[in-house]
Amino acid sequence: MKVPFGTIHITKKSKEIINKILDSERVSSGKYVAEFEQKFAKLAGAKEAVALSSGTDADALALAVLYDYGAKRNDEIIIPALSFVATGTAVLQAGFIPAFVDIERDTLNINPEKIEKKITKKTKAIMPVHLMGKPAEMDKIMEIAKKYDLHVIEDAAEAHGAEYKGKKIGTIGDMGAYSLYIAHIITTIEGGIVITDKKEMAEILRSLRFHGRACKCKQCVINTKDSYCKLRFKYNTDIRFVFERIGFSCKMNEIEAAVGLGSLEHYEEILKKRRFNFFYLKENFKKFAPYLMTIKVEEYEKIGPHAFPIILGEKTKFKRDELVKYLEDNEVDTRNLFTSIPTQTPAFGFMGYKSGDFPEAEYIGNNGLHIGIHQDLNKEHLDYVIDLIEKFIINYT
């Protein structure tokens, strides 16, 4: 039986919109992107949403907003040591330096008790990651941010639908950055989006995504309809060629937005199915202790499950890669559970960290994997995985 990691469906509605777009020959960012932004913002519980070309760009542009609030190049951004590498590269892409903090093994998220030690005069923001859709401890993080007058940008790349103490993830900090990659609950194939309740930040984001140009209206009449823009010559020249800040080129296009609009229609059923799959596996994995573990889930939170993390126990006799090979040989698709960015990712070797600096993140980097729990998997798939792992463990005990 094949158990793929991810899935995607281009819905009937999406296909209809795509055909309209192709017939119109207007495929760059326009009215469908604006519609997707509006609907995503409402779903996420935010006033504003700015669609971009990737989740990495969502992180980078949210950080780049901080230059309008006094940040300078090479200032520091606190992030967890364990995440997909994009979290670290986005900080560098935005012109900042990542300040890494170790994680908690049973949450996979940044350890709030270790944040304050990493704060310096150059620190400008904390960017917690809600890894695997598991909310970070936002109360403690927001308390620290308030104490030191820091911005908070939530990396919610994998956390569609997650909630923390009644608040939707992505709305607790200043901004929330989502990925819309094909493996996620809401997808535009590629793509990302930033949400915020702060109008000024949204305007800056709209400027940043198009080279820093002075255009930053919530809905561009030039892009979304054949209309005259009353602001076009406010600077006595075409506003589209006035650039106020150093920007990027990372707009979402109309075809991606069309896929996203179809995805939004099935959001609730997708989220419900993923949650069922996550908790079904979590309950059945109890019998694999102490050999295998997964993350804990608190009563005050709702997880937005991206995938199912599996962590080897310290006294386990087998190695992660042996389990991975066994699962792959039996057609269960797996992914390693990321690595410690500063100490296990060669690209970050220039920063000078050494093995042992982030022991919990490094443990996960050596002993963690994750498997799919997407909406196309049913109980038969999950039981197959459980039976496979049970047989594997029996061979080692």
Q: For residues 180 and 192, is the Cβ–Cβ distance under 8 A? A: yes
Mind giving me the DSSP string for 126-193?
E--B-GGGPPP-HHHHHHHHHHHT-EEEEE-TT-TT-EETTEETTSSSSEEEEE--TTSSS--SS-EE
pLDDT digits (tens, 9 = 90+) for 203-233: 999 999 999 988 776 776 556 566 666 666 6
pLDDT in tens, 324-333: 999 999 999 9
Report, as an integer, the average pLDDT of 198-202: 98
d(CA 299, CA 292): 22
- The fold adopted by the segment(s) 12-265 is Aspartate Aminotransferase; domain 2 (3.40.640)
Separation CA 330–CA 311 (nearest Å)? 20
Q: Assign 107 to helix, strand or coil.
A: coil
**pLDDT over 80 at 397, yes or no:** no
Query: DSSP characters for 349-378?
Result: GGG---TTSSHHHHHHHHHEEEE---TT--
pLDDT score, position 302: 98
Higher pLDDT among residues 312 and 222, named by residue: 312
pLDDT, average across residues 188-194: 97
Q: What is the pLDDT of residues 3-42, one digit of tens each?
A: 999 998 899 999 999 999 999 988 988 899 999 999 999 9
Does the pLDDT value for residue 244 go beyond 70? yes
Task: Tell me what pLDDT residue 220 has.
Answer: 66
Residue 235 pLDDT greater than 80, yes or no: no
**Percent of the chain predicted with pLDDT > 90:** 89
Q: Contacts by 268-274 with C-beta closer than 8 Å and gap 24+?
A: 269/375, 270/185, 270/375, 271/160, 271/161, 271/185, 271/304, 273/374, 273/375, 274/185, 274/304, 274/305, 274/373, 274/374, 274/375
Is the sign of the CA dihedral 196, 200, 206, 210 positive or negative?
A: negative
- For residue 188, what pLDDT is reported? 97
pTM as predicted? 0.94
Instruction: Calculate the CA dihedral of residues 348, 350, 355, 356 and round it to 10 degrees.
Output: -90
pLDDT for 222 equals 58
DSSP 8-state secondary structure symbol assigned to residue 292? E
- Kindly give the residue spans of alpha helices, DSSP state H, lying in the chain: 12-24, 31-44, 55-64, 86-93, 138-148, 199-208, 221-224, 254-265, 267-284, 320-329, 341-344, 359-367, 379-395
Q: How far apart are CA 253 and CA 31, in angstroms?
A: 10
Q: Output the CATH code of domain 267-395.
A: 3.90.1150.10
- What is the model's pLDDT at position 227? 66
Could you read off the pLDDT of 105-153 as tens digits, one per residue?
999 999 999 999 999 999 999 999 999 999 999 999 999 999 999 999 9
| Whole-Å CA distances, 58 to 61, 98, 185, 248, 252 | 5, 16, 17, 11, 11
What residues pair up with 310 in beta bridges, in sequence order?
Answer: 369
Is 79 in contact with 87 (CB distance < 8 Å)? Answer: yes
- What is the spatial distance between Cα 102 and Cα 170, in angstroms, rounded to a whole number? 22
**Residue 91 structure tokens:** 């900080």
pLDDT in tens, 127-138: 999 999 999 999
Look at residue 26 in the predicted model and tell me its pLDDT.
86
Render pLDDT for 44-86 as a digit per residue (tens, 0 to 9). Answer: 999 999 999 999 999 999 999 999 999 999 999 999 999 999 9
Residue-range domain boundaries for the chain: 12-265, 267-395
